[in-house]
């Protein structure tokens, strides 16, 4: 095996080794066992950094490392497993390894003294293993296998404190909700294989087949949406988002890794992997799911008081953004936001964990077990006590709110430009996409600053608790510092100019703008004409970025192996809409921040009054109760399901079983009774016993011949002799 492959496979065997080690031998080193885990993940981080360096040497279409082998072969069915590292996978590996490394470090302090400390590290190892598997996979079946493993490790982590009933329930909810999406994904994969007649699960081969126009686009649309259902489940999109907020029952650092930075991004990553085969219709469905999720979750996040719940809904909302970006064809923007979001959201979660940790300790010292350490209403004014946490949280909040100089601004702007371009081109009902995007941006800015103001500013809600609050130890603050540093836009655009278009930095160069072959095959001409008419009108408005145009066309020439019509077109249009989107997003973000500032910092407007005002239309209640989605599911799905299953069980037991099956049994009993009689009385007693009786009778008679009296034998011999003589004489 090549050295490269061994290197790449280390992303699988190191974490799985850590998992097994911590599971079976984790108790040996007690608390110090985490050093082994962090050493393993550290090696992975180093390897991923070296891979990351290589991305500068490759174009988006190149494979840095690839290899596959035949795993299963029956008849003419072949299942290959293989790995493929291209630039996107290398990026993703770096993100996963970095966040995993920091979470391992952070957890050593956060989870200190937990009775199942080593098991926690085992789960982290299992999760890292399965996540890396998804990233490395070169076939859709391998993605599916690791997809399920990720689901399993998520289940284990959410239910880590399974003594708490809510945690046990939440883990079940997450697992089952994910399963709904996975069924769709599995059907989609099978459709591609059988209906699409690809006879391969390998992504490259499927894409090649699609490129040749070998699959009917109607089937492809259905299959695309079905496969995307997996992402709906895993990335918590509407209507399967319900598990993610409940998943906050898990330990906070694990939430940071699994439910904020990496696992939920797996859905987006998978959608990006299959992006080339998504048809326009499928993309439209995806865009609308993403847009509604973004705005919907943002509205819910406004009224949540639990600090982790706010972040959970904000995660759902941001994932909605990524999905929206895929839907409008902004391949690059989706991945860009995935990476920046992973950094700032992991940091936000860990910062909230830091706050919760110190709240917990403070409450512990006060012997107060009733106050909720996660409720923001019990906090306030923490910024003086926890300066590092505050700074990290402020930076990342600025990033998520979309403020210039920070990473979220650049990536979110790229997405919003994409939606705007999409609307300019298609018009009509697609106006919903940019509206939802900008609306969610404003709301995001509002609720994130609400979180900051409630937690860190103002007067402490409880002086006693406040006195015992202190900054977290360095193992917890170092990850915060690293991640908040990586939330500056400088690292992604490579430009000090805060308004630079993120779509043309070094990041864009190594990821590329993606390809979409289906659109080209389907309506190539259509798009060409659109491109001619629309892009001119838009670029007229913004001719001041000619410089970018030149840079871009140069870049495209370098990369174009074939016709990249659609994505090139989208990227072009998004670029044209860049400044419009930027000003709009700046405007809505400052609007949100300003409003939050007035309500929660200056307290000019009483928040209570505001609630009551909105509650006239029951809007507040709607948001507070998460749009009653759980209740609706309970009423529409759970309760009728229970009713029907109870009815079915009644029918099954009382009628079918008691009457139907039992009477069959009775008939059988009767018939067997009769046949027993026939069998015993006739066959057994008369026929079978008859043979015995005959034998008995005969033997009774014949035994007299052998009487032991020699003289009778002699007589018999004489008779026989005479008979023989007579017989011989006859002849």
Partner 1 sequence: MNSLQIYLLLSSFLFSLGIYAIISRQNAVAILMGIELILNSANINFIAFNRFTSNLNALDGHLFAMFVIVLAAAEAAVALAIIINLFKNIGTVNVDQASELKG
Stretch that binds partner 1, among 20-28, 514-522, 662-670, 710-718 (CB under 8 A): 710-718
Q: Smaller CB distance to partner 1: residue 700 or 710?
A: 710
| Contact criterion met (CB below 8 Å) for 171 and 164 | no
Residues 6+ apart with CB under 8 A from 290: 237, 320, 321, 322, 323, 324, 325, 326, 327
692 binds partner 1 (CB under 8 A): no
Helices (H) and strands (E) in the chain, counts: 32, 2
Candidates 711, 726, 727, 731: give the one binding partner 1 (CB under 8 A): 711
For the bound state, the minimum distance from the C-beta of residue 698 to partner 1, rounded and expressed in Å, comes to 21
Burial readout 250-286 (b: 16 or more C-beta within 10 A, e: otherwise): bbbbbbbbbbbbbbbbbbbbbbbbbbbbbbbbbbbbb
For the bound state, the minimum distance from the C-beta of residue 696 to partner 1, rounded and expressed in Å, comes to 20
Q: Smaller CB distance to partner 1: residue 598 or 719?
A: 719
724 binds partner 1 (CB under 8 A): no
Count of residues for the chain?
731
667 binds partner 1 (CB under 8 A): no
Q: Smaller CB distance to partner 1: residue 687 or 728?
A: 728
Residues 6+ apart with CB under 8 A from 128: 15, 18, 41, 44, 96, 97, 100
Asked if omega into 239 is within 30° of 0 (cis), the reply is yes
User: Rounded CA gap, 154 and 263, in Å?
Assistant: 8
| Contact criterion met (CB below 8 Å) for 90 and 55 | yes
723 binds partner 1 (CB under 8 A): no
Of 340, 667, 600, which Cα lies nearest the Cα of 446? 600
Candidates 664, 718, 720, 724: give the one binding partner 1 (CB under 8 A): 718
| Contact criterion met (CB below 8 Å) for 429 and 598 | no
Stretch that binds partner 1, among 295-303, 557-565, 621-629, 714-722 (CB under 8 A): 714-722
Stretch that binds partner 1, among 251-259, 291-299, 318-326, 713-721 (CB under 8 A): 713-721
Q: Smaller CB distance to partner 1: residue 678 or 722?
A: 722
719 binds partner 1 (CB under 8 A): no
For the bound state, the minimum distance from the C-beta of residue 728 to partner 1, rounded and expressed in Å, comes to 17
For the bound state, the minimum distance from the C-beta of residue 727 to partner 1, rounded and expressed in Å, comes to 19
For 597-661, where are the alpha helices, taking DSSP H only? 607-615, 619-624, 629-633, 639-650
Stretch that binds partner 1, among 393-401, 456-464, 476-484, 703-711 (CB under 8 A): 703-711
Three state DSSP letters for 345-375: HHHHHHHHHHHHHHHHHHHHHCCCCCCCCCE
For the bound state, the minimum distance from the C-beta of residue 686 to partner 1, rounded and expressed in Å, comes to 35
Candidates 709, 726, 728, 731: give the one binding partner 1 (CB under 8 A): 709
Stretch 120-149 residues interacting with partner 1 (CB under 8 A): none
Region for 457 from its dihedrals, namely left if φ exceeds 0, alpha if ψ lies in -120 to 50, beta otherwise: beta
726 binds partner 1 (CB under 8 A): no
Q: Smaller CB distance to partner 1: residue 637 or 718?
A: 718
113 binds partner 1 (CB under 8 A): no
Stretch that binds partner 1, among 110-118, 172-180, 406-414, 704-712 (CB under 8 A): 704-712
705 binds partner 1 (CB under 8 A): no
714 binds partner 1 (CB under 8 A): yes
Structure tokens at 527: 């798009």
For the bound state, the minimum distance from the C-beta of residue 695 to partner 1, rounded and expressed in Å, comes to 21
Candidates 704, 708, 727, 729: give the one binding partner 1 (CB under 8 A): 708
| Contact criterion met (CB below 8 Å) for 231 and 211 | no
Structure tokens at 692: 């015995």
Candidates 602, 705, 710, 731: give the one binding partner 1 (CB under 8 A): 710
722 binds partner 1 (CB under 8 A): no
Q: Smaller CB distance to partner 1: residue 69 or 702?
A: 702
Binding mask 478-517 for partner 1 (x = CB under 8 A): ----------------------------------------
715 binds partner 1 (CB under 8 A): yes
Stretch that binds partner 1, among 195-203, 480-488, 560-568, 708-716 (CB under 8 A): 708-716
Structure tokens at 718: 């004489």
What is the DSSP track for 26-85? TTTTGGGGHHHHHHHHHHHHHHHHHHHHHGGGS-TT--SEEEEEEEEEETTEEEEEEEEE
Residues 6+ apart with CB under 8 A from 8: 51, 65, 67, 83, 85, 136
Structure tokens at 240: 């399967």
- Furthest-apart CA atoms within the chain: distance in Å: 146
Q: Smaller CB distance to partner 1: residue 560 or 712?
A: 712
| Contact residues for partner 1, defined by CB under 8 A | 708-711, 714-715, 718
């Amino acid at each position: 095996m090549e050295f490269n492959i061994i290197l790449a496979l280390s992303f699988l065997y190191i974490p799985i080794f850590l998992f097994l080690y911590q599971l079976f031998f984790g108790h040996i080193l007690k608390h110090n066992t985490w050093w082994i885990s962090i050493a393993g993940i550290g090696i992975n981080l180093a390897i991923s950094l070296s891979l990351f360096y290589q991305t500068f040497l490759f174009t988006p279409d190149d494979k840095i490392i690839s290899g596959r082998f035949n795993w299963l072969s029956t008849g003419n069915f072949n299942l290959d497993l293989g790995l493929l590292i291209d630039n996107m996978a290398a990026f993703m590996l770096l993100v996963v390894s970095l966040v995993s490394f920091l979470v391992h470090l952070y957890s050593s302090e956060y989870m200190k003294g937990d009775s199942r400390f080593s098991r926690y590290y085992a789960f982290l190892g299992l999760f890292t293993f399965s996540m890396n598997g998804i990233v490395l996979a070169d076939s859709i079946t391998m993605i599916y296998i690791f997809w399920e493993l990720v689901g399993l490790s998520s289940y284990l982590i959410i239910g880590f404190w399974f003594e708490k009933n809510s945690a046990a329930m939440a883990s079940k909810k997450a697992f089952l909700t994910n399963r709904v999406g996975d069924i769709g994904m599995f059907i989609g994969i099978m459709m591609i294989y059988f209906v699409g007649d690809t006879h391969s699960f390998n992504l490259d081969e499927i894409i090649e087949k699609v490129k040749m126009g070998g699959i009917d686009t109607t089937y492809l649309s259905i299959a695309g949406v079905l496969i995307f259902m997996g992402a709906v489940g895993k990335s918590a999109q509407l209507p399967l988002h319900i598990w993610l907020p409940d998943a906050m029952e898990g330990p906070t650092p694990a939430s940071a890794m699994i439910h904020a930075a990496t696992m939920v991004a797996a859905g987006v990553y998978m959608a990006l992997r299959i992006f080339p085969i998504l048809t326009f219709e499928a993309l439209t469905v995806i865009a609308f799911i993403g847009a509604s999720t973004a705005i919907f979750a943002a509205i819910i996040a406004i009224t949540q008081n639990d600090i982790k719940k706010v972040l959970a809904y904000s995660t759902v909302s941001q994932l909605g953004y990524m999905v929206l970006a895929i839907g409008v064809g902004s391949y690059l923007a989706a991945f860009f936001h995935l990476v920046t979001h992973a950094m700032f959201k992991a940091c936000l979660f860990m910062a909230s964990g830091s706050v919760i940790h110190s709240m917990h300790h403070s409450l512990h010292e006060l012997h107060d077990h009733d106050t909720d350490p996660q409720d923001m209403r019990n906090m306030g004014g923490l910024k003086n006590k926890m300066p590092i946490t505050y700074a990290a949280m402020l930076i990342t909040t600025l990033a998520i709110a979309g403020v210039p100089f920070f990473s979220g601004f650049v990536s979110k702007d790229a997405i919003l430009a994409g939606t705007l371009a999409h609307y300019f081109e298609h018009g009509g009902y697609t106006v919903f996409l940019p509206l939802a995007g900008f609306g969610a941006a404003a709301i995001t800015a509002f609720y994130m600053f609400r979180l900051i103001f409630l937690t860190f500013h103002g007067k402490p809600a409880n002086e006693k608790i406040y006195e015992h609050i202190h900054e977290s130890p360095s193992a917890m603050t170092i990850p915060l510092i690293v991640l908040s540093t990586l939330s500056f836009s400088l690292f992604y655009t490579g430009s000090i100019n805060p308004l630079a278009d993120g779509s043309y930095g070094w990041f864009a160069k190594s990821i590329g703008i993606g390809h979409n072959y289906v659109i080209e095959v389907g309506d190539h001409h259509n798009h060409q004409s659109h491109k001619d008419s629309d892009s001119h009108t838009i670029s007229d408005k913004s001719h001041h970025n000619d410089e970018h145009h030149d840079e871009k066309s140069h870049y495209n020439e370098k990369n174009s192996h074939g016709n990249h019509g659609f994505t090139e077109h989208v990227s072009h249009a998004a670029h044209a809409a860049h400044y419009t989107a930027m000003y709009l997003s700046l405007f809505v973000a400052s609007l949100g921040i300003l409003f939050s500032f007035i309500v929660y910092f200056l307290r000019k407007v009483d928040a209570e009054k505001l609630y009551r005002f909105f509650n006239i239309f029951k809007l507040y209640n709607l948001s507070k109760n998460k749009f009653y989605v759980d209740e609706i599911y309970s009423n529409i799905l759970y309760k009728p399901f229970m009713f029907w299953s109870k009815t079915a069980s009644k029918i099954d037991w009382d009628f079918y079983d008691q009457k139907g099956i039992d009477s069959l049994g009775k008939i059988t009993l009767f018939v067997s009774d009769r046949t027993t009689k026939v069998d015993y009385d006739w066959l057994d007693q008369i026929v079978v016993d008859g043979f015995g009786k005959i034998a008995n009778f005969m033997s009774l008679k014949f035994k007299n011949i052998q009487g032991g009296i020699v003289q009778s034998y002699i007589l018999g011999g004489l008779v026989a002799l005479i008979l023989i003589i007579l017989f011989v004489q006859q002849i």
